Chain A
Amino acid sequence: MINSSSSKQVGQDQQATSEPRSPRPKIKMVKSEESDKRILNKKLKDVEISIPIVYGNVSFWLGKKASEYQSHKWTVYVRGATNEDIGVVIKRVVFQLHSSFKNPTRVVESPPFELSEAGWGEFEIAITLYFHIDLCDKPLTLYHHLKLYPEDESGPMSSKKPVVAECFDEIAFPEPSEGFLVRVQNHPAVNVPRLPTGFTLPPPELFVVPFEDANRKKRGDTKDHPLSQWFMNFSEADELLQLAAARQQVQAYLAKLRRQISMIDGQHQQLKTISDS
């Protein structure tokens, strides 16, 4: 399937790791760049990779230090659902704030993709995710309503416990390029389905790593993030259980209805034969 052009330079042997986070110098392909481009750009069908993310905000009431225009200190962010580093997929995130903020377009170039500000009002924030070019050149926009005030208005506001509003979602890439697949094959932030049988990916040495990776030194995962204690838990298992139970009920009732219908059909038949005779 892939013409593993063995006419590569010797330099490649040094970078035989598939660990995407280790800094790798840019590989220079001297020969057969065309075929490499083809490999890089080759899209795989029926292999959809998905990245579970959580986006939202955490907001602290400033308590005594609160002023009229700065009553809350909040942080809006996008993180991996399991707190893994999503920088392997997302190149940068642009947060579009309310126009009353100075420079309302805030760009975050590296993970953790978050933005902290102080204010008093709730508004909708447009979060635009820009992916690595080899993965997808189209950005994706999420919308999050900034939540500062707790739902239960009656309780006293505490400056210790923040108001948290998070939303779970999955970013799906229906036809990722082979190059990208190789890069994220074993990355914990990315869900890669099982590849079709008999299909093997080319070795990672063939692929050029986006140059930005080499520069990123600080960690991009949010496992030990200062706000991580407030992060909400999203358990797929709970929801699946709930859905399965509901389905069971519905199916049971369906079966009952079907029995009833067939019974009545039988009765109608009888009545018909009786009235006909």
Chain B
Amino acid sequence: MDAKDILGLPKNSITQEKKSRPQKDSQRKPDGISREVYALTGGFPPLIPAIEASQLKKRPPSDEKITWQWLPFTNSARKDNLHLYHWVRIVNGVPPTGDYSFAKYNKSVDIVKYTDEEYEKYLTDPMWTKEETDQLFELCQSFDLRFIVIADRFPSSRTVEELKDRYYSVARAMLAARAPSPGDISGHPLVKEPYNVSQETERKRALSMVLSQTKQQERKDAEVLAEAKRITESRMVARGAEESELPVPSNAGPESAERAAIPSDTVSPSANVQHPSAAVAPSTITVDNASILASLRMLRVYLRTYALDQMVQAASSSAGLRTIKRVEQTLQELGVNLKPRVPTKAVCAEHLELRREILTLLNLQKQLQYKEAEGSSYRDGSYGDTPGTPKHLSHGGDQDRIFVPDMNFAGERIGKRDQKRKAPGRLSEAPLPAHKRPRKLKAADL
């Protein structure tokens, strides 16, 4: 790097270009299979090569004599001793030994088996007859505990959850009955986490509700969740260890939207450019405020500064980080403490209102800038000479500071504090000249 600096040449850029190109080529060129086929697999070399590309080409070993024979075979996985035939690859006249290669895949679940005595002793249940239980277990055995299938084939109509519940409670009871001591089985998953019918039914119902939600419902839910999250956060800060559980959407679904009683129309996230932003802002502010006030009332005691913080956060939640910084900058320019020195109820209320007004101010300013930009595009199209707008736009830098500090007409106290500063107090006059020019233009044209 130093050598490059000394030479003063951008040496690396050229070599970098050359390096990048060959790298790309090697990535694209697959070996052994055509590019299109390679692309089907995702176009990237696999992490672990499944089949060696080289192996695909050179297969036939010259020293081995391969023939194929039509031979019978049996499957140890079958119980009926069925003899079938298939082609077998014979190497040097020696047929392969061993079981049918797919027999090892015949896995099944170990179903609990009970005798009639055991049934009488441990497994009787008012809701289930022995017949039904036996049927259930037969099906479980044949279908490997695939309860959906079992439920379909079960003679009497029982829900999947009921069947599961019966099976697992029987299994658990048998386990407990057969275990030498309760300690032995305490680690068994059947004992540690028993099947909870009501929970399962509820969970599945909720899932199906979520699945069948319309897009509008989804939107509503998201909004309610955001509100609820904000409330929980403010409550959690107050309560510390205590956690308040809110209705999770999968459990409540559409019910929570009604329960929360927050009009979804006002909390619409879409920012309509046509309407002045001030109209949208107050409605969201009132919603936030109401929730903050409600959460504050939940606390039995709170500090005024804490309440103010919450409200300020809520008010600036709709604004971006830059806007928040600008609000704070404006506050400082006005000579107001970012955190009031005497935070009484009245002072906090005034402070909050001031912040809101500044937010509105910033929004309006932005609006004005947009409109002027629009205006200049109009004029650039239809009029040639537009003295007004470009000069106005060039004042953009000045507009970042709305209030130059040292406002003399804000009171002597502020003036006293800023005596050391050099700039005299005056309100930024930038908007005014442009204010006048368009008027002149109009008059001239008419």
Contacts and interface: CB of A to CB of B under 8 A. Distances in A.
Given A168-B342, A169-B343, A249-B410, A270 B304 contact: no
B375 interface: yes
B427 to A, nearest CB: 8
Nearest to B339: A167
Interface string A55-95: 00000000000000000000000000000000000000000
Interface string B417-428: 000000000010
Interface residues of B, number: 56
What's the interface size class on A, roughly?
35 or more
A140 interface: yes
A261 B367 contact: yes
Main secondary structure of the interface of A (DSSP, over half): helix
Given A242-B411, A244-B350, A254-B360, A260 B431 contact: yes
A250 B374 CA distance: 26
Nearest to B403: A249
B305 interface: yes
A264 B361 contact: no
A169 B372 CA distance: 45
Interface string A256-277: 1110110111011011101100
B372 to A, nearest CB: 7
A246 B361 CA distance: 13
Contacts of A138: 300-301
Contacts of A173: 300-301
B382 interface: yes
Contacts of A272: 378
Tell me whether chain B's interface is mostly helix, strand or loop, or mixed. Answer: helix
B435 interface: yes
Interface stretch (B191-199, B249-257, B351-359): B351-359
A133 to B, nearest CB: 11
B410 A263 contact: no
Contacts of A174: 296-297, 299-300, 302
Nearest to A142: B303
A172 B410 contact: no
B371 A172 contact: no
B301 A239 contact: no
B341 A243 contact: no
Contacts of B303: 140, 142, 169-172
Contacts of B350: 240, 243-244, 247
Interface of A: 45, 50, 52, 131, 136-138, 140, 142, 168-175, 234-236, 238-247, 249-251, 253-254, 256-258, 260-261, 263-265, 267-268, 270-272, 274-275
27 contacts: A50-B304, A142-B303, A168-B342, A169-B303, A169-B304, A170-B304, A170-B344, A171-B304, A172-B304, A235-B342, A239-B341, A242-B335, A249-B403, A249-B407, A250-B361, A253-B402, A254-B360, A254-B361, A254-B364, A257-B364, A258-B364, A261-B371, A264-B371, A270-B442, A271-B375, A271-B378, A275-B378
Given A174-B299, A261-B367, 6 more contacts: A168-B343, A243-B350, A243-B351, A253-B427, A260-B368, A274-B382
For the complex of A and B, list the 5 residue pairs with the smallest distance between their C-beta atoms, beginning with the closest: A170-B304, A246-B334, A243-B350, A174-B297, A257-B364
